[in-house]
Structures are given as C-alpha cells and as structure tokens.
Amino acid sequence: MTDRYAVLGHPIGHSKSPLIHTQFAQATGQDIHYTAIEAPLDGFADTVLAFRASGGRGVNVSLPFKLQAFEIATEPTERARLAGAANCLKFVDGDRILADNFDGVGLVNDIQRNLGFPLAGKRVLLLGAGGATRGALLPIAAERPALLSVANRTPDKAHQLRHDFAAHVPLQTGGYDTLLGQSFDVVINATSTGLSQDALPLPDGLFAPGALAYEMVYGKGLTPFLKQAQAAGVARVADGVGMLVEQAAEAFLWWRGVRPDTAAVLAQLTVPLV
C-alpha cells in the first residue's frame, strides 16, 4: 500500500519538497505519495491530526509552523528540544508523534559533503540567534570546530543561546560590534536578511583567507550577505539549496530507513549565484 507524506507550511506553493521526495522515492524504490498542504495560520495542529487520521505517515514542516510542530510532538529528540522547533514529524503507534529537527544536519552535510569544506578545527560564525541558528549549533559543534560564535543585532538573544547550550557546547556570543578584529573560516547567515534584502553591519576583515560564506536562504541569487562577502574578496559562496536537499534526505532516511543519494536532485535544483 502506498504510504502518504506531506509538507505543511503557509504559504507552501513554492515548496520543492514534493519534487525532492518524489525523486528520492523513485530512486530508492519506495512506494510513497508526497504532497504539499497549506495549513491555515490558526489551524496547524488540526491539519496535522487530520492528515494523520487519513492515513498519513509523517510530515515535513516549513515556516511558520516549526515551533508549533515541536509543541504538538509527544516525543521530540534532544536536538529538537534544544532548538525549540521541529521540521519533521513521524506518526507511530497510536497517538505518538515523534519530532526531529534536520535543518542543522542538512547544513553540515551540505558544507562538508557537497562543498568539500571540513568544519573540524575551523572558526565558525553564525549570524542571527533565531530558530535557524538554534537548530544548527549541535550538528556544527559535533564536527569539533576550533571556535563556534554567534552574533546578533540584539546581544542578549545571542547570550541566551550561550546559556541554553552551556551543557553541550561552548559558545562565543555578542553583538555585531564584538566581531571587530576577528576573522572566521566559515560565516553562515542564519538571519532573514536574505529575504528582506537588508545588509548586515559586518566589520572589515571578518572573512579569513579562503573562507566560505554560506547563505541559508536559497533561490534568491546573490543576497546582500553574499555580495558583502564577495566584496570582501571571498571566492567561495553558497546558498541554502544544498541544505534543503540534505535535510530532506535525513527526513527520508528517518521515515523509510533508506538513505537516498542527493547528487541528482541537487544538480537539478542548483542555480548559479549571479
């Protein structure tokens, strides 16, 4: 019998998840049907429960519902708990709803596997202290960077992350002004400026020689952050399309027990950054 999965968001028409998971299923011989569902802003939980009641096996969760996905779960993983958000749910026996957050794993896999940039021993900076950063901290820390730093327009929000993750990873935190005089091998923009087209107040010298500048937003071409990086002499820039594909592969593995190869899908979705 065909198993049903979906991605929930609002809006959701732009989502690449149906294409990605359909191709994963074809490549691995899995009998699934995957669709996109636009949940009402005030009806996420009802939509999830209705999908489960109709025979759904699991859902990916897009904006703006990742916090609500965590709240509806009966069994969140530790990384979902620390992130305070989930991007994937799995329905198992009875009323159990398992939750995980694969965004950070997808980010790390893209940087290391697809871009060939190991994080071990590197100085890594995350810009922004919201949910995207929270989800990325543990997977990045697991690769043993020399330094893991978070900068945010509101320093107190960055400092809160240092407190929340103190038992798991040492963090350097502060405002953008504290970055003056520092340089990093990997700088990741986890803010929403890629969507708003606003520039960040980045100091000169932020990018170390040979640095990678990574924009979590995808499909927007050269965002202001990537343009800032290029103006600073950074040759290696990337957007988040690989993160999207790799987190989808982690979800597929969690649901189906088989890991799809991501190369073909990634090649199809990648567009030049111009």
Of 96, 66, 57, the C-alpha closest to 247 is 66
Same domain, 154 and 63: no
CATH number of domain containing 46: 3.40.50.10860
d(CA 182, CA 175): 13
CATH number of domain containing 198: 3.40.50.720
Same domain, 95 and 109: no
Instruction: Give 70-124 pLDDT, tens digit per residue.
Output: 999 999 999 999 999 999 999 998 899 999 999 999 999 999 999 999 999 999 9
Same domain, 136 and 235: yes
pLDDT of residue 210: 98
Same domain, 50 and 109: no
Q: Total domain count for the chain?
A: 2
267 pLDDT higher than 90: yes
Same domain, 84 and 182: no
Mean pLDDT of the chain: 96
Same domain, 122 and 213: yes
In a domain? residue 20: yes
Is 66 catalytic? The answer is: yes
pLDDT of residue 94: 82
pLDDT of residue 193: 86
pLDDT of residue 198: 84
Residue 6 token pair? 């979906």
Q: Name residues whose C-beta falls within 8 Å of residue 114's C-beta, 6 or more positions apart in sequence.
A: 242, 246, 262, 266
Same domain, 220 and 126: yes
CB burial of residue 183 (10 Å; 0-12, 13-18, 19+): middle
In a domain? residue 266: no
Supply the range of the domain harboring residue 24. 3-101
- Domain end, chosen from 101, 121, 145, is at 101
In a domain? residue 110: yes
Instruction: Give 161-218 pLDDT, tens digit per residue.
Output: 999 999 999 999 999 999 999 999 999 999 988 878 888 999 999 999 999 999 999 9
In a domain? residue 274: no
- Domain end, chosen from 84, 101, 118, is at 101
Of 244, 194, 259, the C-alpha closest to 28 is 259
Same domain, 91 and 130: no
Same domain, 26 and 93: yes
In a domain? residue 143: yes
In a domain? residue 137: yes
User: Could you tell me the sign of the dihedral formed by the alpha carbons of 193, 194, 199, 200, in that order?
Assistant: positive
In a domain? residue 195: yes
Same domain, 25 and 136: no
Maximum separation of any 2 CA atoms in the chain, in Å: 60
Residue 255 token pair? 């649901």
- Active site residue: 66, 122, 220, 227, which one? 66
